[in-house]
Amino acid sequence: MDQPLLERIRTEIRTQGPISFARFMERALTEPGLGYYVGTQPRAGRDGDFMTAPEMHSLLGSALARLIRETWERLDRPQPFRYTEYGAGSGALLLAVVDQLIRDESLLLEALQIQLIEINPHRREEIQRALATRALRHPLKIVEQDAPPVAGVVVANEFLDALPFHIYVGRAATAHGTAERCVGLNEEDSLVWVEVPLGEAEATRVRARFGAPLTEGQRAEACFAADAWPHELAEKISGGLVVMIDYGREGADLRDAASRAAGTALAYQGHRATDDLLGDPGGRDLTAHVDLTALRAAATAAGLTPVASTSQAALLAGVGLDDEIERIRRGPEATLEGAIALRSALARLMNPRGMGGFAVELFALGSAEHVSRLADARNPLPGAAAPIRPLV
Ligand SMILES: C[S@@+](CC[C@H](N)C(=O)[O-])C[C@H]1O[C@@H](n2cnc3c(N)ncnc32)[C@H](O)[C@@H]1O
């Protein structure tokens, strides 16, 4: 079988020795022309490899539209007002937000400009075509990735879990008690795991991340690319709200030796999860839980103010879910199919052990006055009032 991406990865390993899993993942997911995320095939959704909340139903988009509108109001309705979405995929979330604003006849539509940080050029074109079908008085302006920042919101749904991460394993016999699980080649030229002792610099950043050492054989991931992410947000919006939604846990939970001895890294293909991370590079999604403790620390270091740590279920419940259900039950979607889709989406989106338990992290940035309006504990943003994430 012709596997050009596998051959390129082999060549890199032959030339320079074992590569980190982060490097392998970068090539497997985003290698130009060959990576998992850059082709024409749908990845998220029923015809893809995994289901996301926006691909399942418009409920999350409707909730976000309300949160975004409230943010716009609290910032005194800036014009323009940017919606930046990282990893927008098919655009299901953005389109649900826009459709909700259209139904609400919101004046925000006149101010809204869209910025897509999506690596897949096919998805970007599809989104632009879909936006052009919406009945709007003024077509929405789409700005480039490097457009100077203006006020707005940044949204990232299931984006950070797809950024390349390193994998480490506890090895008491090595100098720093930890080795990195890298990717090498065996005698048959197959990709295999190779444990590489940590150098000084690597040991320092791993210690800073993990705190306590891993137990013998325990595996854990560290996504340093996710630490860098908050630092680039001020280049996208000059002030406003950041909404990060993903499966994630506190760092200490992710490295609990009893419950997470094998870490959280998984590959997805055809709606099936496997721990064979090295098989079929370019054909599988690769992902790990987001370390929320590390994300909050990175966000704070980047000058962002944490506004709320909550869950997807709490966000939906706090942002008018009942009204939206009522609207769907009475509107044109009040068909048998619509009712079944709604019921099944609700069961999944509200399940605290499933998507309902996904982390929602809200951050504010901008002037002190604007941040205080978004992070006001006495008057929390809709959906930001429930500080306790369900224990799952
Ligand atoms: C798990 S999918 C989520 C898609 C969408 N947000 C959803 O919820 O359905 C991750 C998305 O991030 C995009 N992506 C992955 N790495 C990226 C990168 N480095 N820069 C921009 N987009 C990236 C992928 O193409 C994909 O659309």
Q: Which atom of ligand 1 has the smallest separation from the CA of 161?
A: 1
Q: Is 87 in the pocket of ligand 1 (CB under 6 A)?
A: yes
The answer to whether the beta carbons of residues 269 and 285 sit under 8 Å apart is: yes
pLDDT tens digit string along 45-71? 888 888 999 999 999 999 999 999 999
User: In order of start, what are the domains of the chain with their CATH numbers?
Assistant: 4-26+164-224 (no CATH), 53-162+226-247+289-374 (3.40.50.12710)
**Residue 320: per-residue pLDDT:** 81
Q: Which of 83, 85, 159 to mutate to test the pocket of ligand 1 (most atoms within 8 A of CB)?
A: 159
Secondary structure letter of residue 179 according to DSSP? E
Residue nearest to atom 20 of ligand 1 (CA): 119
Q: Is 131 in the pocket of ligand 1 (CB under 6 A)?
A: no
User: What separation in Å is there between the alpha carbon of 115 and the centre of ligand 1?
Assistant: 14
In angstroms, rounded to a whole number, what is the distance separating the alpha carbons of residues 169 and 220?
Answer: 7
Contacts for 40 with CB less than 8 Å, ≥ 6 apart: 122
Q: Is 34 in the pocket of ligand 1 (CB under 6 A)?
A: no
Mean pLDDT on 174-179: 94
Residue nearest to atom 1 of ligand 1 (CA): 158
Q: Is 358 in the pocket of ligand 1 (CB under 6 A)?
A: no
Angle ∠(174,180,185) on CA atoms, nearest 5? 110
- What global pTM score does this model have? 0.96
User: What separation in Å is there between the alpha carbon of 179 and the centre of ligand 1?
Assistant: 29
| pLDDT > 70? residue 217 | yes
Which single residue is written with the structure tokens 């005194």? 76
Contacts for 354 with CB less than 8 Å, ≥ 6 apart: 348
pLDDT tens digit string along 30-52? 999 999 999 888 888 888 888 99
User: What separation in Å is there between the alpha carbon of 82 and the centre of ligand 1?
Assistant: 19
pLDDT tens digit string along 339-383? 888 999 999 999 999 999 999 999 999 999 999 999 998 999 988
Mean pLDDT on 164-175: 96
Q: Is 55 in the pocket of ligand 1 (CB under 6 A)?
A: yes
